[in-house]
Amino acid sequence: MSESAIVRTGSRQFRMRVGDVLDIPNIPGEAGGEVTFDQVLLHEAEGAVSIGSPTVEGVTVVADIVGQLKGPKINGFKFKPKKHYSRSWGHRQLITKIRVKEIATA
């Protein structure tokens, strides 16, 4: 069983293992840069599980930024019959692709 951690970022939670490539909500940084996550909610290593209250002390996840992208296009449409009103819009969420490099414990 490999070491893993559950990390909170961008008001969402992600399970991260070394070598995983994940799409997470946009965080600042350039491709090739490094980012550290310190809000680790759960850490698992060799069958031993540490649950944070609210976070696990001394555990951080280090990841490389692979790229900054946009998510899929989401189209919206409003329509009111007999009123000659219609409105459409589109949205693409900014996302960051990361590769988990290390789960460090102090």
Is 1 a residue whose pLDDT tops 60? no
pLDDT of residue 2: 81
Average pLDDT over residues 80-106: 96
Structural domain total, the chain: 1
Is 3 a residue whose pLDDT tops 70? yes
Contacts of 100 (CB under 8 A, 6+ apart): 16, 17, 18, 19, 20, 21, 22, 61, 62, 63
Ramachandran category for residue 71: left, alpha or beta (phi over 0 → left; psi -120 to 50 → alpha): beta
Overall pTM > 0.85 = no
What domain range is 56 assigned to?
4-105
pLDDT of residue 51: 93
For residues 67 and 31, the answer to whether their CB atoms sit within 8 Å is: yes
User: pLDDT tens-digit profile of 36-92?
Assistant: 999 999 999 988 999 989 999 999 999 999 999 999 999 999 999 999 999 999 999
